[in-house]
C-alpha cells in the first residue's frame, strides 16, 4: 500500500539521518583522546585546553560550568588553579554529549581569546617596498598633522603581506598540527597552484567600515587578473578551516594588504 511505502521510506530516512549524525559526531571527535570508564559506564574525553581559558569555562561562582553541564549532559572536571599540564575532562554517557560539549567549549574559547597566529603571503618585493615607502613619506608630509596620523601607524615595509587566515593556536598540539597542515599544503597542493607566475599590483585605498572618520585600519586594494593568488589564499584557508579564527565568505578570502593600523 501507499501507506506502507511511506512508512518504509520514513524509516529509511530516519536510519540515514542517524547514520549521518553518527558520522558528524565521529568527525567532530576525530583525533580526540576518548576512553570509557567501565565502572561508571561513561565516556571520558580529554581536552588540552590552556589554563588561561579555565576561568572563562568556570565563570562567576561556577555559573558557566554548571550551565554547560546542564545543556550538554556532561560532567566537566577542570584542573586546579596552577595546574598547567592536566587536560580538562568531559564525562558523558554518549559520544554525542561529548561532541556537543567540545563544540560549545571551542566556540566559547574562540570568542574569548584573541588571534595568536595568522597565515600570510609576503608582498615584500623590493619594488613594492620602495613604492610603499614613497606613499608613507608623502602621507606624513601632507597629512602628518592630522589626527591619528604618525609614523607609528604605518606597517614596516618588510612586513607587507596578504592575510589568508587568522588562527587561534593555544596549545603545543595545535601549533604542531598547524605546522603539519602547512607542510602538507606545500607538498600536495601548492605545486599545482604555482605552475605559472602571477602578476600582482597594489592600486587604491580602502577601509572595511562605513564611517571614514572612525577608521582604524587602511588597506591597499590588490589587483590580480589571473586569480592565482586568490586560489592559493582560498586553498590555504580551506586547509586550515578547523584552526581558523574566522571563516571566509562565499566569495573566498578577501585579499587585502594592511598599510596603516591605529588599533
Q: What is the CATH number of the domain that holds 192?
A: 3.90.1140.10
Does residue 22 have a pLDDT over 80? no
The winner for highest mean pLDDT among 19-23, 121-125, 141-145, 184-188 is 184-188
CB 160 within 8 A of CB 239: no
The winner for highest mean pLDDT among 16-20, 23-27, 60-64, 115-119 is 60-64
Let me know if residue 128 belongs to a domain: yes
Answering whether pTM is above 0.85, one says no
Let me know how many helices (H) and strands (E) the chain has, helices first. 8, 9
Strands (E), 78-183: 88-92, 117-122, 161-167
Let me know if residue 251 belongs to a domain: yes
Are 63 and 163 found together in one domain? no
* Residues 37-66 pLDDT 10s: 888 889 999 887 777 788 888 988 999 999
Let me know if residue 4 belongs to a domain: no
Domain final residue, candidates 112, 130, 155? 112
Let me know if residue 143 belongs to a domain: yes
Give the span between the Cα atoms of 198 and 122, in whole angstroms. Answer: 14
* Residues 207-243 pLDDT 10s: 887 788 888 899 998 888 888 889 999 999 888 876 7
pLDDT of residue 110: 67
Cross-strand bridge partners of residue 150: none
CB 111 within 8 A of CB 72: no
Does residue 245 have a pLDDT over 90? no
Does residue 3 have a pLDDT over 80? no
In percent, how much of the chain has pLDDT > 70?
A: 87
Are 139 and 178 found together in one domain? yes
Domain final residue, candidates 112, 131, 157? 112
Domain final residue, candidates 56, 82, 112? 112
Q: How many domains does the chain have?
A: 2
Are 108 and 211 found together in one domain? no
Amino acid at each position: 500500500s501507499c501507506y506502507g511505502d511511506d512508512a518504509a521510506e520514513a524509516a529509511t530516512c530516519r536510519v540515514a539521518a542517524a547514520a549521518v549524525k553518527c558520522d558528524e559526531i565521529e568527525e567532530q571527535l576525530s583525533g580526540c583522546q576518548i576512553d570509557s570508564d567501565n565502572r561508571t559506564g561513561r565516556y571520558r574525553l580529554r581536552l588540552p585546553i590552556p589554563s588561561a581559558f579555565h576561568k572563562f569555562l568556570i565563570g562567576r561562582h561556577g555559573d558557566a560550568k554548571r550551565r554547560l553541564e546542564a545543556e550538554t549532559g556532561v560532567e566537566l572536571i577542570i584542573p586546579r588553579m596552577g595546574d598547567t599540564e592536566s587536560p580538562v575532562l568531559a564525562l558523558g554517557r554518549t559520544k554525542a554529549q561529548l561532541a556537543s560539549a567540545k563544540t560549545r567549549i571551542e566556540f566559547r574559547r574562540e570568542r574569548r581569546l584573541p588571534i595568536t597566529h595568522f597565515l600570510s603571503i609576503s608582498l615584500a618585493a623590493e619594488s613594492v617596498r620602495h613604492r610603499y615607502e614613497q606613499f608613507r613619506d608623502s602621507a606624513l608630509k601632507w597629512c602628518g598633522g592630522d589626527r591619528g596620523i604618525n609614523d607609528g601607524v604605518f606597517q614596516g615595509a618588510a612586513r607587507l603581506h596578504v592575510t589568508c587566515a587568522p588562527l587561534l593556536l593555544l596549545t603545543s598540539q595545535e601549533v604542531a598540527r598547524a605546522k603539519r597542515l602547512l607542510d602538507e599544503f606545500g607538498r600536495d597542493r601548492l605545486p599545482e597552484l604555482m605552475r605559472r607566475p602571477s602578476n600582482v599590483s597594489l592600486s587604491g585605498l580602502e577601509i572595511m567600515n562605513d564611517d571614514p572618520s572612525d577608521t582604524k585600519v587602511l588597506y591597499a586594494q590588490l589587483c590580480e587578473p589571473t586569480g592565482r593568488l586568490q586560489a592559493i589564499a582560498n586553498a590555504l584557508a580551506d586547509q586550515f578551516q578547523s584552526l581558523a579564527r574566522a571563516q571566509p565568505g562565499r566569495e573566498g578570502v578577501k585579499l587585502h594588504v594592511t598599510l596603516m593600523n591605529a588599533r
